[in-house]
Amino acid sequence: MNQLNIRGLAQRSRAKLFSRSFASTAISRGQNLTEKIVQKYAVGLPEGKFVHSGDYVTIKPAHVMSHDNSWPVALKFKGLGASKVFDNRQIVNTLDHDVQNKSEKNLEKYENIKNFAKEQGIDFYPAGRGIGHQIMIEEGYAFPLNVTVASDSHSNTYGGIGALGTPVVRTDAASIWATGQTWWQVPPVAKVELKGKLPKGVTGKDVIVSLCGLFNNDEVLNHAIEFVGEEIENLPVDYRLTIANMTTEWGALSGLFPVDDTLIRWYTNRMIKLGPGHPRINEETLSDLITNKMDADPDAYYAKTLTVDLSTMSPYISGPNSVKISNSLEDLSNKNMKINKAYLVSCTNSRLSDIRAAADVIKGKKVAPGVEFYIAAASSEVQKEAESDGSWNSLIDAGAITLPAGCGPCIGLGTGLLEEGEVGISATNRNFKGRMGSKDALAFLASPEVVAASAVMGKIAGPEEVEGNPVKRVRDLKKSIIIHEPEQSESAGGAVEVLAGFPESIEGELILCDADNINTDGIYPGKYTYQDDVSREKMAEVCMENYDPEFGSKTKPGDIIVSGYNFGTGSSREQAATAILARDMKLIVAGSFGNIFSRNSINNALLTLEIPKLINMLREKYSSNEEKELTRRTGWFLKWDVKAATVTVTDGKSGEVVLKQKVGELGTNLQDIIIKGGLEGWVKAKLAETST
């Protein structure tokens, strides 16, 4: 298929509606793009059911990627009693995190992963081929309008090419290996409207760094994001990938860009580069993409609308040591802040365009004395192209230190880490304290151009300064946010079917734990985490003791915890969920949950509901109390009618109704997981079915 034919198909596709539009008079509202993609990859939906935010669904993703953690996933897979993967075309193994580590232990792990992949017929990419997320895009596993997951938090990256990418935990990955499926709760969806044209010298990195700093009060925490706006067509795909990648740091579960002519041209060029016969990027897949383009319905619901005027943006820098802190390049340049190390690495900003941009700044110059400038391409393909066009050598000639294609210093592994008292500037995605080396170092995040300029100048600096000019004045950023009222309309498909063995309703007294960001250590003390012989009774005893030592004496079986926002943040310990279950509590309600805690909860048969209005009402109820109780029996009772997907809260067990609200539907697939005692039990049951 030539480029003219592709353009023709694209023009015809814009002239008609998507042929499988899910909007109809049978439902109360349309679907946004996230919901449509989930609908496409959901399995076991009741007839006539249209997926919306809040619904629990079983998904069969197009692909699942794991990296250095492939061996732990394989051990989990074997521990489930599985011996053969369900679909070896669904799975991708890449080695990218600790590629500089040549220890016997690491090499043995890498060999185990390689052998397992060979035995199962899984697509395998060895150390040095590149970062897993880059490979997933280069090789077309993550593809527009598909669902691609990975056991890595930066799976959001795939949204840059219009795929719904989201992270899963290791148990989920093992479940997909064994059955082809896992579960997902469709998050609330936020629409981010990008208006205006980016000024010259402002990059995709500046956009996402600005967004993380502008909206830094968890506005998009655990949301799916859809980027919209007429000017998006002018954003290069590499900029989109950078923005989508760092929606993870912004707190979102996905960051989805639309499929437009810019993306179609990108895939056309990619197809030409790969040549004929590629299994995923070829004339057929590209033609199908153009013909069956998806867009959000005009009446789709979004939880929030955030708007930013790109024309008012300037180069921005994250830090120190937090993506929630954004400083203008002008401000930091004026502070004459000396640096010790600079980094052009990671899945965020080490693609070919990033290397070229840095080379344009540094060509003919030298890295400043006392500064170490580390570079690593996103993949071996990227490095080869950069070597061919001279940009790689321009960086080396300037004094850059090369590292193998991989994650390396971005995650604190290998050569070139920050040491105590040092200052580093990096084109990576995270600058948490201690992530890139010493906890007593300062880490900043910036665009490749600013990183290169800083390496030359020996201080945080802009490209203009390399040529002897001052940094441009910062512009006044224009932004807004609208929070939309939740829709209370009835969902399509009627009453939810309830399986035998699953309760039609769940009810109990609400126990208020009035705090935000209650972390997993507060729920289950870390000192017990790696003790394998802790009894269920002991787990129940110590549950929430780090949050409130009186929790145990104030609560009883059947109570329902209600807490603030980001409940269960912190580590990935599963005991934070199982300790609550040990107290015979089956349901937790919160304003929002930490994503890993949310997944661990369902995976261990603990139910969760996000009801922000309820926690706000309770906080208002007790706002006049002078003495704050960490754990309070409220006298309010909650009843979750699973069949009607409705929550009712009363003042007293049979008292006045204070809140009645629709919630996401708990489908039969998720009910089955709970009945089986969690995801591992469900997988074992599925494997037993197939073996008989």
Task: Quote the tokens at residue 321.
Answer: 């040591």
Same-domain status, 533 and 641: yes
Strand partners, 176: none
Tell me the CB-side half-sphere exposure of residue 660, using CA atoms within 13 A: 5
Between CA 226 and CA 206 the distance in angstroms is 18
Same-domain status, 241 and 103: yes
Percent of the chain with pLDDT over 70: 95
Least confident span in 11-25, 152-166, 339-353, 616-630:
11-25
What is the pLDDT, as a whole number, of residue 28? 64
What is the pLDDT, as a whole number, of residue 21? 27
**Residues in CB range of 530: below 8 A, 6 or more apart:** none
Strand partners, 95: none
Work out the angle between the directed axes of helices 668-675 and 679-691 (0-180°, nearest 10).
100
Same-domain status, 300 and 340: no
What is the pLDDT, as a whole number, of residue 393? 98
- 189 has a pLDDT exceeding 70: yes
Tell me the CA distances in angstroms from 470 to 314, 366, 463, 474, 573, one per residue in order.
14, 19, 9, 12, 49
Same-domain status, 589 and 453: no
Between CA 95 and CA 166 the distance in angstroms is 19
The number of beta carbons lying within 10 Å of the beta carbon of residue 574 is: 21
CATH for 403: 3.30.499.10
- Range 150-176 average pLDDT: 95
Write out the H or E segment, with its range, that includes residue 227: strand 224-228
Between CA 628 and CA 620 the distance in angstroms is 13
Contact between 398 and 363 under an 8 Å Cβ cutoff? The reply is yes
Contact between 195 and 308 under an 8 Å Cβ cutoff? The reply is yes
- Range 339-347 average pLDDT: 97
Pairing of strands 442-445, 423-426: parallel
Tell me the CB-side half-sphere exposure of residue 281, using CA atoms within 13 A: 23
Buried b (16+ CB within 10 A) or exposed e, 472-499: bebeebeeebeeeebeeeebbbeebebe
- Range 149-174 average pLDDT: 95
Model pLDDT for residues 590-639, shown as the tens digit of each residue: 999 988 899 999 999 999 999 999 999 999 999 988 788 999 999 999 99
> What's the domain range around 238?
33-310
- Range 676-680 average pLDDT: 96
Q: Give the pLDDT band (50/70/90) at residue 490.
A: very low
What is the pLDDT, as a whole number, of residue 459? 98
Contact between 174 and 86 under an 8 Å Cβ cutoff? The reply is no
Task: Quote the tokens at residue 79.
Answer: 């521990």
- Range 131-141 average pLDDT: 98
Model pLDDT for residues 422-455, shown as the tens digit of each residue: 999 999 999 988 889 999 999 999 999 999 999 9
Tell me the CB-side half-sphere exposure of residue 26, using CA atoms within 13 A: 10
What is the pLDDT, as a whole number, of residue 249? 93
Kindly state whether residue 345 falls inside one of the protein's structural domains. Answer: yes
Helical spans, DSSP H, in 418-458: 448-457
Contact between 348 and 426 under an 8 Å Cβ cutoff? The reply is no
What is the pLDDT, as a whole number, of residue 303? 96
Kindly state whether residue 591 falls inside one of the protein's structural domains. Answer: yes
Same-domain status, 419 and 513: no
Same-domain status, 267 and 369: no
Give the dihedral of Cα atoms 464, 470, 471, 474; nearest 10 deg.
-150
Which of 447, 465, 483 finishes a domain? 465
Between CA 664 and CA 51 the distance in angstroms is 10
Tell which wins on pLDDT, 595 or 75: 75
Contact between 444 and 320 under an 8 Å Cβ cutoff? The reply is yes
Chain length of the chain? 692
Between CA 274 and CA 139 the distance in angstroms is 9
- 296 has a pLDDT exceeding 70: yes
- Range 513-535 average pLDDT: 89
Same-domain status, 397 and 280: no
Buried b (16+ CB within 10 A) or exposed e, 440-466: ebbbbbbbbbbbbbbbbbbbbbbbbbb
DSSP 474: P
Using a 10 angstrom Cβ sphere, with 0-12 exposed, 13-18 middle and 19 or more buried, the burial of residue 217 is exposed
Contact between 276 and 282 under an 8 Å Cβ cutoff? The reply is yes
Pairing of strands 224-228, 254-256: parallel
Query: 320: cis peptide before it, omega within 30°?
Result: yes
What is the pLDDT, as a whole number, of residue 495? 84
Kindly state whether residue 3 falls inside one of the protein's structural domains. Answer: no
- 247 has a pLDDT exceeding 90: yes
- Closest by CA position to 227, among listed 242, 240, 246: 240
Which of 310, 334, 364 finishes a domain? 310
Strand ranges in 241-280 using DSSP code E only, listed in sequence order: 254-256
Kindly state whether residue 25 falls inside one of the protein's structural domains. Answer: no
Same-domain status, 243 and 343: no
Which of 276, 295, 310 finishes a domain? 310
Kindly state whether residue 320 falls inside one of the protein's structural domains. Answer: yes
Three-state DSSP at 127 gives coil
pTM assigned to the model: 0.89
Buried b (16+ CB within 10 A) or exposed e, 345-379: bbbbbbbbbbbbbbbebbeebebbeebbbbbbbbb
Residue 421 C-alpha from the chain's centroid: 31
CATH for 612: 3.20.19.10
What is the pLDDT, as a whole number, of residue 494? 66
Q: Please give the full DSSP string across 27-56, using - where no structure is assigned.
A: SSS---HHHHHHHHHEESPPTT----TT-E
What is the pLDDT, as a whole number, of residue 486? 73
Q: Give the pLDDT band (50/70/90) at residue 137.
A: very high
Contact between 308 and 193 under an 8 Å Cβ cutoff? The reply is yes
Q: Could you give the strand order of the β-sheet that contains 587-590, starting from the edge strand earlier in sequence?
A: 607-610, 587-590, 560-563, 505-513, 631-641, 646-651, 656-662
Provide the number of structural domains found in the chain: 3
Tell which wins on pLDDT, 162 or 4: 162
Helical spans, DSSP H, in 402-528: 448-457, 463-466, 520-523
- 530 has a pLDDT exceeding 80: no
Same-domain status, 279 and 130: yes
Contact between 295 and 416 under an 8 Å Cβ cutoff? The reply is no
Kindly state whether residue 482 falls inside one of the protein's structural domains. Answer: no
Same-domain status, 444 and 518: no
Q: Give the pLDDT band (50/70/90) at residue 14.
A: very low
Kindly state whether residue 113 falls inside one of the protein's structural domains. Answer: yes
Q: Give the pLDDT band (50/70/90) at residue 487.
A: low
Between CA 578 and CA 610 the distance in angstroms is 19
What is the pLDDT, as a whole number, of residue 15? 32
Q: What is the CA radius of gyration of the chain?
A: 25
Same-domain status, 344 and 427: yes
**Secondary structure (H, E, C), 532-590:** CCCCHHHHHHHCCCCCCCCHHHHCCCCCEEEECCCECECCCCCHHHHHHHHCCCCEEEE
Same-domain status, 289 and 365: no
Kindly state whether residue 499 falls inside one of the protein's structural domains. Answer: no
